[in-house]
Chains A and B, each alone.
Chain A
Amino acid sequence: MAIIVNAAKCIGCGSCVLLCPEEALDVSPSFVVEVDSENCTECLTCLDCCSNDALGEST
């Protein structure tokens, strides 16, 4: 499983970045969030932070 970002929906508001307990997210220069899969523990906190429905989980 992994966190997937829907680049068309992500605005780069950073809301998920601030609340990821592993600091595994960052906003790219084109304002789309990037997931560092090395550090992501798949806790799914970020999914609850996104107002733009831009995050999901892949199986």
Chain B
Amino acid sequence: MAAARLPHSKMGKMKTDIVIIGSGIGGLCAGALLAHSGYKTIVLERMPIAGGRYTSVKYKGYTVPTASWMLLYGKDDPVYKTLQEVGAPEIEMRGAGTPMARYRISGNIYDWPEKGALRYLLSVASHDEDEVNRVMTALGQAMSEETPSNEISFRDWLFQYTRNEAIHSIFQAQIATWCGMNADELPAGEFIRALLSFRGKSDFRIPKNGLKDIIDALEKVIKENGGEVWKLTAVKQIVVQDGESRSIIAERNGNEMEIEASVVISNIGPKKTIELAGVGNFSESYLREVNEKVRPSVGMDYLFITDKPLLDFPGTLYTTDTRRKVSWSVPTMMWPEHAPNGKHLLHGFAVPRSTLDYDPKEEHDIFMQDLMDVFPDFKKCGGQLLLRRNFCGEWPCTRAWQGYDVTQETPIENLYNVGDGAKPEGWIVGSGAAESGRIVARKIMERIKPWGR
């Protein structure tokens, strides 16, 4: 029998220090830090589960991420730091070990060595030491002396030093995998900042039950500190008066409720924040900035079931010589319990040639050709599709292209944006979303005291 939606009843009212709209990793990091510091925090989530694009669920017996797979920076990751700072118990996680990655370049497969990895891969792709030196010197200078401008794309920046497509393809594979973008879309300066943020810190980790373990831990901290994480609660409006956010109106169990809050943190993306707060409350220039800047990064994501693992290591294989530059992994090499006994998962992720204009069906055909090319034994190994997904629009790879984020502050007092539309410079994807939450939590703690203190 269908569950009928209840008609609206009289509006309930509440008061709190902090309301967070959306329980993504940005919202939950901010929420856990603030709740742990004594702020009464209420997180409102429209979906039946918390975590947004940064959690995992059981689907047909397999552990499947809602989008994000892993913690990127190991113990330096903003998510990990948050868990530590709020005293969450240690979460069991595994990394890929060595080699962390392999690259298929012109038909051959090479391990990513622990030291001098980039130079090694460029040498393999180039066979011209002068060319490799030119690129490595330029990258070194960009990282240590003058960061290139964001007005030029990374691909155009690299063209100054090489036109070798095999070299370009190595970078394209990394940029597609880690940013959901193409090298001709990513600002050069931002790529260099991302490389710097990764330097010495890249340490990918996956928890035992997927990222759900992290979301559960953050949610627990919020609740143990007097806060709430309400699911199936959709915020309909941010009430703004005299340039300041006062409250939110949400729908929960068919009832409308108003929650008055000292601060409202929006984790639903800068465009939706404007929609809920009312376009009329923002200046023309802010509206223009958000409209021009905030465009989603995208990705075609595939999960296949196989009878045998199609890779013999738990890290990532980047194929730089396929039609799309695809990243492949077998998550069950790291955690066999992510599939039923005797089964394995194969994960593939690719970015369309343009993130602004693509035909998903066409990309699907290209992806399937790449799959058969890289894994000719796919069918023999019982390969079958578990799930294909197109991450874009309102459920994207990131809400803003790397380097095109808006600031966490909004023109409305006590209204902040967190999440992957408000990533700080150099911080990528979910880690960037988490770092935005940490920044906002710090700003609030500097400005406002919790109630009754």
A19: interface (CB < 8 Å): yes
Q: Give a binary string over A1-34; 1 marks a CB under 8 Å from any B CB, 0 the rest.
A: 1000000000111110111000100010111000
A interface residues with partner B (beta carbon < 8 Å):
1, 11-15, 17-19, 23, 27, 29-31, 41-45, 48-49, 51-52, 57
Q: Give bound CA distance, A43 to B387, whole Å.
A: 22
Taking Cβ atoms with an 8 Å cutoff, the residues of B that contact A are 1-3, 5, 46-49, 57, 59-60, 64, 66, 232, 234, 360-361, 364, 387-395
* Contact across chains for B395 and A13 when beta carbons are under 8 A apart: yes
Q: Do residues A11 and B390 form an inter-chain contact, with CB atoms below 8 A?
A: yes
Give A23 Cβ to nearest chain B Cβ, in Å.
Answer: 6
B303 nearest in chain A by CB position: A14
A19 touches B57 (CB 8 A): yes
**What residues on B are CB-neighbors of A43 within 8 Å?**
2-3
Contact of A48 among B1, B47, B390 (CB under 8 A): B47
* In the complex, number of A-B residue pairs with CB atoms less than 8 Å apart: 78
Contact status B46-A48, CB under 8 Å: yes
A17 to B395, CA, bound (A): 13
| CB contact between A18 and one of B66, B234, B393, B394 (< 8 Å): that residue | B66
Q: A23-B60, A48-B232 given as contacts; is B395 within 8 A of A15 (CB)? A: yes
Looking at the assembled complex, report how far the CB atom of B230 sits from the nearest CB atom of chain A, in whole angstroms.
13
Docked complex Cα distance between A1 and B48 (Å): 22
Query: Which of A1, A18, A23, A44 has most B Cβ within 10 Å?
Result: A18
Looking at the complex, which one of A17, A19, A41 makes contact with B49 (CB distance below 8 Å)?
A19
Tell me the minimal C-beta distance from B234 to chain A in angstroms: 8
In Å, the complex CA distance between A21 and B209 comes to: 19
Q: Are B393 and A52 in contact (CB under 8 A)?
A: yes
Chain B residue at minimal CB-CB distance from A3:
B2
Q: Inside 8 A of B390's CB, which chain A residues have their CB?
A: 11-13, 27, 31
Q: Is the CB of B360 within 8 A of A51?
A: no
Q: How far is the CA of A14 from the CA of B300 in the complex (A)?
A: 11
Measured between beta carbons, the chain B residues less than 8 angstroms from A31 are 360-361, 364, 388-390
